Amino acid sequence: MKTRLLALLISFLALTAAPFTAAAADSRIVDAAFVTAAIKRGAIIWDVRSGAEYRRSHIPEAISIGDALSVLRNPNSEDFMPVSELERILGDAGFDLEKEIVVYGTRAAVGAYFGLYTLQHFGAKKAWVYHDGIDGWARGSGALQTEEIRYRPVQLSLKAVPGVAVSTEEILAMLNKPDIQLIDVRTPGEFAGEDIRAIRGGHIPGAINIPYEQNWQDPETAQKLARRQVRDNSGMSLKSDADLRALYSKLDPDKETVVYCHSGVRAAETATVLAKLGFTKVKVYDSSWLGYGNKLDAPANNVQFFNVGAFNNRITALQSRIDQLEREVGEARRR
C-alpha cells in the first residue's frame, strides 16, 4: 500500500512539474556550452553588435551585418524594413534559415533577442539566443576572433509566419477580453505616461507593467554601471528559473499572452523568457507603444500628450548654450 501511494505521489509530482521541465528542454535561451557545441556542428553564429565592435573581437566563426537594430528596421517607424530589403541583407550575409542559428550581442542585449525574434518571425525553427553574450563568453575564457567571417550568399524568400507577432488591429480586438494577458515591459515612467516617447504617453488598457530588466539578477545593473557602482554587467545575467516563475506567478501560462514595449525590442526578451517558463501562447506586439500611442483613437490609460512647443523651446535653449560655449572656446584659443 505504501509503495503504491509513493508511486502515485511521484507521478503527481512529475505531472505538476512537467510544463516547466519541458520548457527547460526546449528553451530558446542557451549557455556557452551550447554555443561551443553549435560551432562544432557548423551552426551560424550571428553577432548583432555594431561592425566596429565585431571587428575588435567576436566569438569564433560569428558573422555580422552590423547593428541589427539599425540595419533591419526603419529608423522612423522602427518596424521591419521591407521584406525585399530583408531578403537582400540576410541573403547576402548567407543566412540559411534551415540551419541552426545562435544569436548573441553583449550580455542581456535586447538586440540579440530582436535577432531571435526576427528569425522566428520569418519561420526559422532552429534558432537560439546566447543571453550572456560576448561578456559571458570572454569571462569563461572562451577564445575570441578578429578575422571577419563571410558566408556564401543565399537566395531568400521570406514570409512572416502566424503566431509570432500581432498587429495594432489585433491588439484593439483583444481589449477587455479575459482570456488575453497584456504585459508592458517598459519602464514604470513610460507605463505611467510620464516618460513620453510617442505622440502621447500612457499604456494599453488592461496591461500589467513588468519591466524587462526584472528578468535580470540585478535589475538596476545599467544604472549602477552608469554611476560606476559596479565593475561589470554580470548583474544582467538571467534570474534562476525559480525566481522567474515567481516574477510571473500571477500570470496564466496557458492564456494567450501578448508582450509589448516601445517598438517590440525589449518585448522580445520577455517573450523569450516566458516561452522558456512554459507559456505556450506568447506573441510580441511588434509596433508596440510607438504604433499604439500614435494611433490617437486607440483607447489608452494614463494619457499624456507630447508637448512639441516645450520640446522645441528646450532644443532652442540647448542650441543657444552650445553656440555660446563655441564662442567662448574660440575666444580662448585666440588669446
Q: DSSP of 16-38, one letter per residue?
A: HHHHHHHHHHT-SEE-HHHHHHH
Q: Please give the grid coordinates belonging to residue 34.
A: 551550447
112-164 confidence digits (pLDDT tens): 999 999 999 999 999 999 999 999 999 987 899 999 999 999 999 999 999 99
158-203 confidence digits (pLDDT tens): 999 999 999 999 999 999 899 999 999 999 999 999 999 999 999 9
Q: What CATH number matches the domain at 22-139, 3.40.50.2300, 3.30.70.1400, 3.40.50.10860, 3.40.250.10?
A: 3.40.250.10
Q: Residue 129 burial (CB < 10 Å; 0-12/13-18/19+)?
A: buried
Asked whether the beta carbons of 112 and 103 are under 8 A apart, the reply is: yes
pLDDT of residue 13: 35
pTM of the full predicted structure?
0.84
| Domain 22-139 matches domain 165-210+248-308 at the CATH topology level | yes
- In angstroms, the CA 303 to CA 194 distance is 9
Q: Please give the grid coordinates belonging to residue 112.
A: 540579440
Q: Spell out the domain ranges in the chain.
A: 22-139, 165-210+248-308
Q: Does domain 165-210+248-308 have CATH number 3.40.50.1820?
A: no
pLDDT of residue 323: 72
Q: Please give the grid coordinates belonging to residue 236.
A: 544582467
Query: Hey, which residues does 232 pair with through a beta bridge?
Result: none
pLDDT of residue 114: 97
DSSP helix/strand/coil, 201: strand
pLDDT of residue 87: 97
Measuring CA to CA, which residue among 234, 245, 241, 188 is closest to residue 212? 188
H/E stretch holding 142 reads none
- In angstroms, the CA 81 to CA 74 distance is 5
Give the least confident one: 107-116, 209-218, 234-243, 323-332. 323-332
DSSP helix/strand/coil, 275: helix
Residue written as cell 479575459?
A: 178
